[in-house]
């Protein structure tokens, strides 16, 4: 997983609010449920401005989230809409590289 350094992405990332920041840390906890159950996931997202955000994705969503963190993506968190934005799933957005002022 790569991080994005500072800046607002409103002009370059459709749907991003002015509060959107790069993901610096993503931690997950899983609490077992009854035998045969899915249990419960809790995720903490820490953005580049050191703000902490909590979410509780479904097991299916958690699988997708883990896959995105293992790919060569740039993750951003928009707290205004509680939206995780994944850039560079296929290809590379210009603003995510050194020329765009972002580090990875």
Sorted by where each begins, the domain ranges of the chain are 21-100
Which 3 state secondary structure label does DSSP give 66? helix
Neighbouring C-beta atoms of residue 4, cutoff 10 Å? 25
Alpha helices in 1-104, H assignment, sequence order: 59-70
What pLDDT band is residue 2 in, cutting at 50, 70 and 90? very low
* Mean pLDDT, rounded, of the chain: 84
Which burial class, exposed, middle or buried, applies to 16 when counting CB atoms under 10 A from its CB (0-12, 13-18, 19+)?
A: buried
User: Could you read off the pLDDT of 12-33 as tens digits, one per residue?
Assistant: 667 788 899 999 999 999 999 9
What pLDDT band is residue 92 in, cutting at 50, 70 and 90? confident
Q: In this model, does residue 72 exceed pLDDT 50?
A: yes
């Amino acid at each position: 997983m790569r991080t994005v350094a500072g800046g607002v992405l409103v002009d370059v990332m459709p749907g991003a609010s002015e509060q959107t920041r790069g993901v610096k840390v993503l931690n997950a906890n899983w609490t077992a449920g009854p035998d045969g159950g899915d249990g419960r996931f809790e995720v903490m997202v820490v953005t580049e401005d050191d703000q902490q955000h909590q979410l509780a994705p479904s097991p299916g969503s958690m699988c997708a989230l883990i896959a995105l963190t293992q790919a060569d993506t740039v993750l951003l968190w928009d707290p205004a809409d509680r939206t995780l934005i994944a850039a560079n799933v296929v290809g590379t957005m210009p603003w995510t590289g050194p020329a765009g002022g972002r580090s990875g």
